Chain A
Amino acid sequence: MTITDLPISSLVNKLRNKEITAREVIENYAKNIYEKEKNIKAFINLDIENALKRAEELDKMDEKKGLLFGVPVAVKDNMNVKNCETTAGSQILKGYISPYNATVVKKLEEENAIIIGKTNMDEFAMGSSNENSSFFPTHNPVNYDYVPGGSSGGSAASVKSEEALAALGSDTGGSVREPAAFCGVVGLKPTYGLVSRYGLIAFSSSLDQIGPLTRNVKDCAIMLNAIVGFDLHDETSVNIKKEDYTSFLGKEIKGKRIGIIKEVMDFNIQDEIKEELKKTVSTLVKLGATVTEISIAHLKYALPAYYIVAPSEASSNLSRFDGVRYGLTVQGENLTSTYELTRAEGFGKEVKRRILIGTFALSAGYYDAYYLKASKVRKILANEFEKAFEAVDTLLLPTTATTAFKLGEKKSPLEMYMSDIFTIPVNLAGLPSISVPHGNDKNGLPIGMQFIGNWFKEKELLQIAYAVENG
């Protein structure tokens, strides 16, 4: 077993016992990166020099503290890392050096993780394939012809290819879980408010949530332990007691009530995925869980509601990129033309499309018909989930309706939007949800199963995911 094969807890233990050095860890991962990165292109920015320097500092420490001591972590490029370029995958921020750390980055550093690089993503997290990155697309490590999913495609690919041991992604409508499913890794979207958003470049503020991507459920729980916590810098972060998310791993799930969402079957789902869903159900039953059917009647309205709320908030969140203070400036002959030229050149097609949709939806006279209506759908969905969680502990559904598709295969935006039909409802309701790999299709592409938990029930969610992973 090589160093890069070690899961987080084993790696940290070996480092603590001085069986290996942090420098060796980074050198081994660097070897993987040099070998694979040219084909995968998971990173926008890699700083191995800096990672090695940090590793040496860790090696000099007498007390080897921290949940992630010496763990090489990749961070999605929409999270601010002090003195590092932070682009969110956009030309408009090319060359922008952040003067501050996102709260999650600060937490990773406090746990002595080593940030190895910033991962590629769809521009401003708008996309499901990483093809909307304004720099280059990332390739799926399982098969380079296929997309890794998105928008945290770089993060998922870096974990799958063992270029990093773990990664952070952000999930607004499935951006952690969908690439996790496509690449065959574990991806968690925590309850809205569990992880601070401070320093995460906002796409849709009421939906965005940072989550880990890892090789297995236990690593995921450890990463979650490291990044959660109330943050005074984020008013939407929730002040709840800290828990150990690994504490329920391995506990038996006998008697757990699992719900299958009836309406999921109304959608066109790839046969192999339906097959894996059935297998997952049998595993759960075998482990002593009960499986029942549950209705989320408004499930089909989630996607349209999302495509009002998210672009509306985005149209406002992206207003700050105006060429005045930082990032790209294309000088026009007056102020208005400077705005227009900067934004015309700096933003990609999908970003512009969503800004336009959002601007329209918020316009005087349309607000009630679109934004307000979509907000009502959110409330209804949340209520339906709340009711479902009276009857069951956890919901089970596929993460995606299909496995990964080929680069360039999906032509229309709508086709692309459909990639997130099963993940979006979760964000609208603010619930936690995890995607775990479960089998492959006939082309060898990974399939992801998704579990949705009640608000702040990450511990139980991870318990079930762990049972399925090891069942």
Chain B
Amino acid sequence: MSPQLPVEAWATALAALPHFTPLRLLAVLNRMPPEDAWRAAERGVELVAGIGRNKLPVTHSLQEQARRVDPERLWDRCMQLGIRVLLRNDPAYPAALAADPFGPAVLFCLGSLDLVSHRTVAIVGTRRATASGRGIATEFGEVLARHDVAVVSGLALGIDGAAHRGALRVSPGRAIGVVGCGLDVVYPKAHNDLWWQVAERGLLMSEVPPGIAPLPYRFPARNRIIATLAEAVVVVESRERGGSLLTADEALARQRLVLVVPGSIRNPAAVGTNMLIAEGATAVTSIEDVLAMIGLDTLALPSVRDPRPRPSGMGVELLGHFDGAARSLDELVALTKCSLAEVALVVGHLEMAGWLVRTGGLFELVHPASVRRAVP
């Protein structure tokens, strides 16, 4: 009845049970071999009494949960997808995570594992980012990748995705995506292309087996891995109570460098980041600052020329009115004292030339990094 499966297969099966939170799984696997733990779970034996608070949306008993998981099929699925399953004692298990007492007990990886031996910097931030925030993340991601630094992020919408897109502009890809769901469960759906690009040209990792849905409680746990894996965490934009603030906390608890991009006090997407600065985090105002903080000089940076045609006359004046905030046509008319038609024309030209981007009825400055289309 019991198929001959490797140790990793039993650990995978255990990780698929909602009962075993990362903390509980770690405790149980420290105590006994995975196969024994699985047999016990099948019989419904409580192995982790007292570890971790049970506030999970658990609807079934442990025994029932175990009945729904077929270790053999789950293992086949991992093999079929080409997922590498690492236990903590595996030589390939990332050293940074192994050094952390709360590192994941099982790690599922897709892509080139040697990336973790590179220098690593995490870029995180809000999902609802401004165009300028996304531009900054893309620039940072690209420049870091050029310096052979692997960019760690969560593959979420907004800042995370932008950072990875930047990192993937450089060949070979230098993106490490840490996700909170199974590696075959693409989330968010809008990042389907990015997800598989990271898996192909970078490294995709998760502490949950394939098929596990992106439940909200898994994301803080994912943030912990990001913070552990990176030597520095750059927060680009964060809201007042954003998940990236949790990542920053996790990073501080592990003596990681936390670097924060300051934002306008009027920008609701920068409230959290400005809060971090007020609390004493290091502010970085350019990618050079980031490189200096992690001990890389900026000489290796190939100079990139802004290819956009220089604006002239009224275009310059108009661009001067964008102080980081988004502006409506009415506001621009009031600021320039020109007619609506004139402003519309100049704004149209600036948009065509790539200086401005329109979101709904508002215009924002385009960050130079998002102009360069240097994807090799």
A and B interact = no
A interface residue numbers (CB < 8 A to B): none
